[in-house]
């Protein structure tokens, strides 16, 4: 999941509490990821439980934990059963970071640099190239400024 656009313009265009609720893109992307995991768990995997493992980044850890508690207390995340931190040196977390980096670079080439979203974009990134070649189900999304503003306003109404 990712956000593409001018963060400050978006976050300051709505309710006065938006910049407090979402002090950085990280919080929005974290929630987008978890909401999508929940949806995909239900639709594709019959509600299989999910345990999230993050590399601890003290800058974001406290806020992520607050988000986790708020959603769990409200009964909103039914399939996310655990939230923990792993050793940043764990191979799984290193692999996830490398894949996220390559996916970001691919999306950036298409959306920021105007390249066509053809297989040629993926050819330059070895992990992404292997993932596409595997034909495995890949989950992800990108939210632009207009879509994020619409989603935040809709969340306010709900």
Rounded to two decimals, what is the model's pTM?
0.74
* Sign for the pseudo-dihedral over CA of 114, 120, 123, 127: positive
Q: Which domain holds residue 24?
A: 2-157
pLDDT digits over 145-154, tens only?
A: 998 999 889 8
Q: What contacts 60, CB < 8 A, 6 or more positions away?
A: 24, 26, 27, 30
What are 129's two structure tokens?
Answer: 């190239």
12 touches 19 (CB < 8 A): yes
CA distances from 17 to 12, 44, 118 (A): 9, 35, 40
For the chain, the domain total comes to 1
pLDDT digits over 10-58, tens only?
A: 999 999 999 988 888 888 888 888 888 898 899 988 999 998 888 777 7
What are 7's two structure tokens?
Answer: 């963060």
What are 153's two structure tokens?
Answer: 């306003």
Residue 51 has phi, psi (to 5 degrees) of -120, 120
Distance CA 51, CA 94 (A): 17
């Amino acid at each position: 999941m990712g956000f593409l656009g001018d963060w400050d313009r978006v976050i300051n265009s709505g309710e006065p509490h938006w910049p407090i609720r979402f002090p950085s893109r990280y919080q929005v992307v974290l929630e987008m990821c978890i909401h999508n995991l929940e949806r995909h768990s239900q639709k594709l995997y019959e509600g299989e439980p999910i345990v999230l493992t993050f590399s601890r980044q003290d800058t974001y850890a406290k806020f992520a934990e607050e988000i986790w508690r708020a959603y769990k207390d409200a009964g909103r995340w039914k399939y996310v059963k655990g939230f923990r931190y792993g050793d940043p040196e764990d191979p799984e977390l290193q692999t996830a970071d490398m894949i996220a980096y390559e996916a970001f670079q691919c999306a950036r080439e298409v959306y920021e640099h105007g390249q066509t979203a053809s297989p040629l974009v993926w050819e330059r990134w070895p992990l992404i190239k292997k993932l596409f070649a595997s034909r495995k189900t890949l989950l992800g999304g990108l939210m632009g400024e207009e879509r994020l503003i619409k989603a935040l306003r809709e969340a306010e109404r709900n």
